[in-house]
Amino acid sequence: MTTITKIETIRVALPFETGGPRHGMRPALGAWLKMESVMLRIETSDGLEGWGEAFGHVMAPGAEVVLNTVVAPLLLGKDAREISKRIDEIERPMHGLGRAGPMMYALSAVDIALWDLAGKRAGMPVFRLLGGDGGELTRYASLMRYGGDCDAVAENVARARGHGFTTIKLHENTVPAFRAARQAVNPEDNICLDVNCPWTVAEARAIAQEILYDDFHWLEEPVWPPEDYAAMAEVRAEGVPISAGENMTILVDFKAAFEAGAVDNVQPSVIKCGGISGMRRVFALAQAYAVRVVPHCFYWGPGYHATAHLAASRPEPTLVETAFITFAVRPHALFDSTASTLQLTEAPGLGFEADWDALAPYVVSRNTVSA
């Protein structure tokens, strides 16, 4: 038996620069100046530690409290090797407390940490446990929102291209900003448009018609509300490839989206949809519906590593989203927003080795629950 003896959560708020004017991803949230992350650290009786991450950002305090007060007591003293059983015995009793949001984010963190432990116990990287090869990957640059400032968009798209990124994503929602990005790079480079659910179907269809011949790689989450997959399918019928999935958490959400014909690309988020186990279920389902997988990964913690290992486990080239921002300190060796490729090492588990000395000034809170 490999008993879970100690559970720690660490909340970090890491300031960053964007290379342009500061805005929130959602205008109502104000300028986004720090990335909030919730890390989970599980210790076991055989002397190992496993790292996981729950979706954070403005919901970081929610995921943190769920981990500390609801989830940790259910894990202590249990066998860390039985991943699916550990998740199931939390997920079932808690099913009425939110099938999206902090509960699912917390479960995702646990799953990731248990897989990290599994790799360390086996003495091999998680991507090898998952049957992957080599661990060499391509990143795509995910730009911050510059609030429609076309000069800042063009400048930062060109800067990303200068670092070698050939797939670059905007978080703008105006056609002039889209076109400023398109014109800032070569025709063969991919420009993706993430608009974060702003429009009615009619508005989204009109935009899709307007940009149909501008050769954008995808249009992401075009309609409000995000769960209206029939509406998304109507927009998709205009001919612009559609991406979504970061707001889907349980498998039946993904199935509903695929059944509706809503997406060309699905973007499951490992720290929201059930960790590495949840992602593998989505991968299998996406294969059954012939939907391309492009994971969501707008974070830097163990969830970033988990995404990379999952991408490396796939037979198809799978992009790793990387926030195109400069943090106050570099959190660890793997996160590099100036490198368009990524090479996982043969380190056992996820290989998450943060520079905690450098991160210390940005730790918001730390909590330990032990047996």
- Give the footprint of Mg ion on this chain (CB under 5 A): 194
Nearer to Mg ion, 126 or 297 (CB): 297
| Nearest approach, Cβ of residue 169 and Mg ion (Å) | 8
CB of 196 to Mg ion, least distance (A): 6
What is d(CA 117, CA 86) in angstroms, rounded to the nearest whole number?
13
d(CA 6, CA 89): 18
Whole-number minimum distance, CB 145 to Mg ion, in Å?
11
- Asked if 137 and 312 count as a contact pair (C-beta separation under 8 A), the reply is yes
Q: What minimum distance in Å lies between the beta carbon of 286 and Mg ion?
A: 17
Q: Are 47 and 89 in contact (CB under 8 A)?
A: no
Cα→Cα distances 40→94, 119, 319, Å: 19, 16, 25
Nearer to Mg ion, 304 or 362 (CB): 304
Q: Supply the minimum distance, in Å, between the C-beta of residue 246 and Mg ion.
A: 5
Strands 363-370 and 4-17: antiparallel
Does residue 73 have a cis bond before it (omega within 30 degrees)? no
- Please choose, from the candidates 94, 93, 100, 54, the residue with its C-alpha nearest in 3D space to the C-alpha of residue 250: 100
Least distance CB 101 / Mg ion (angstroms): 17
Neighbours of 338 (CB within 10 A): 14
Q: Which is nearer to Mg ion, 10 or 323 (CB)?
A: 323
Q: Which is nearer to Mg ion, 194 or 238 (CB)?
A: 194
Question: Maximum distance among all alpha carbons in the chain?
Answer: 60
Task: Give the residue at shortest CB distance from Mg ion.
Answer: 194
The residue (of 226 and 302) whose beta carbon lies closer to Mg ion is: 226
> Which of 189, 194 has the CB closer to Mg ion?
194
